[in-house]
Structures are given as structure tokens and as C-alpha cells.
Amino acid sequence: MADPKLDPRLTPVRPDLAANHLEGKVTAARFVEGIEFEIFDPVVPVRREPSHDAALDTEALKGERVVIYDRDAEGWAWGQLKTDGYVGWLPDIALVQPRTTPTHKVTALRTFAFPGPSIKLPPVEVLPLGVQIEIVKIDGTFAITSQRHYLPAQHVALLAAVETDFVAVAQRFVGTPYLWGGRTSLGIDCSGLVQTSLAATGIAAPRDSDMQEAALGMALPPSQWHDLKRGDLMFWKGHVAIVRDESTIVHANAHHMATAIEPTQAAITRIKAAGNDVTSIKRLG
């Protein structure tokens, strides 16, 4: 049994197996050394169980590393993402032995990777914002990856490059379909929007809204809730929104089934009518 203080979303432990660094902290039939792999596909589901029908808890992006502790005969691998520590099941076919050293990241909402130096060629991949890639050469208008894929050079930047306004990044997702567990412009959820937008500015954030509420920023006393500033984070149980200005928020939500800009008070009233009131407002550094 795991220590109840250990979050199962962030702790690689099952009754039959656990990471060896947890020995003495949890109970499991055996403890194993993890093996690091690289995410090879552009976007990879991380599921709660080893099944295509299982809940999508989050997504892993190309170039991310994952420590794998178990692989089954059905093509699933169980491990922990190194980016945010999330634990789950991934399709084994999407993993490779580490083969790249990322130098750049995708800064466009999404971009195409072409098999050669022409935008008229059929793309081989669609890469979302935040994907980390190894660029071996910039040749005119193309950035060439170690896979010999050609990306528009204006859609990538060095890993050290950061955006200055994470709210502006979040606003670029307006209209993106809502997807529980999603992290990209093909589908994103409320906490994925916060995590992805903050990552673009160089700020690491946990994956889920309750983790973000506990870890990010400083809580404003309720007496200051009327004086919101751009970039404040507004939390409900199971939901988070980004304050855009004194009267609007931007959030991925199931009411609109999309990322939307909404009047703050209207959202508070609507969500409260459904039985959920604001739990905190956090101000980042």
C-alpha cells in the first residue's frame, strides 16, 4: 500500500509493481528499475488503464522522456513522464530509445513537418506547440531535424526562448475543442491550457487543476477578489481559468466545449448555479 500522502497520479506504484526508488515507502510485490524512453509520435495518449477505451488522463508530446517500469503483451507501457511526473499507460509503439538531444521547440500553435524542402510535399507529421526537437541545420526558410524533417524555420525557436505573456499564449487556443486530458490545439482541457501556456513562458506547472491550485502563485484574500489582474488563476473544484483582464477570463471548458473568452462574472454565476463556487484565486510571482 502506498503512503496516502503519495499522489497516485505522480507515484509509479501498483500492488504488483513499483519503482525501485519507492522501496521502503510503499508496498508492492516487486520493485523495478525504470528504463528511459523518448516519445516518438507527435502526440501520445497517457491512459489510466492499458486499453484504448480507458480514460485519457493526459498526453505526451514528441521529444518528451518517459521512464517505463512495465510493458505488457498487448502493446502498452506503464511509466512516468519526466516533464511533469504524470504516471500512466502509453502505447508501446510510440516509444523509442532516446535518440535526439532537443535544441529547439515548436512555437507555433501547430506546424507541419515535411519530408523535404518544399511546402508542396505531403506533410509527414503535425507538431503542436511545445514539442521539443533536435534541429541540425537551418537552411533558408526551413529548420531541418535530426529525422531529416523540414519545418518552417519561423515556427521554431531555441529551447531557451520564452514568451513574455502566457495569457496571450492561452488566447491563441480560443476555439480549440475541449478534450479531457488534452494538451494541444487539436484538443485541450482547462489545466492543460494553463500548463501549456505557462510552459511557453518558461514556467513549469503541474498537470491537473488541483495540483496547480496547491503549487502555483499566492492566494489572494477574498477581499481582493474584485481587483483581478491579467494572469491571475481562478480555481473551482476541478476547474481553472486564466484572468484575461478586469472583466473576462479565458478557459477551456465543457460548457462551450472549447477554449473560450467569457465574462468573469457570467462564468462565476453559471458555474455556481451548477453547484460549484470559486475556491481560490492565485496570483503568480
DSSP per-residue codes, 69-80: EEE-TTSEEEEE
Element (H, E) at 264: helix 264-273
CA atoms within 13 A on the CB side of 30: 5
Query: Residue 254 is which amino acid?
Result: A
Angle at 35 between CA 91 and CA 26, to 5 degrees: 95
pTM: 0.96
How far apart CA 119 and CA 113 sit, in angstroms, is: 9
Q: What are the per-10-residue average pLDDT scores of the chain (285 residues)?
A: 78 98 96 98 98 98 98 98 98 97 98 98 98 97 97 98 97 98 98 98 98 98 96 98 98 98 98 97 94
Name every residue whose Cβ is closer than 8 Å to that of residue 52 and which is 6 or more positions away in sequence. Answer: none
Q: What is the pLDDT of residue 261?
A: 98
pLDDT per position as a tens digit, 143-193: 999 999 999 999 999 999 999 999 999 999 999 999 999 999 999 999 999
Burial of 223 (0-12, 13-18, 19+ CB in 10 A): exposed
Q: Are 231 and 223 in contact (CB under 8 A)?
A: no
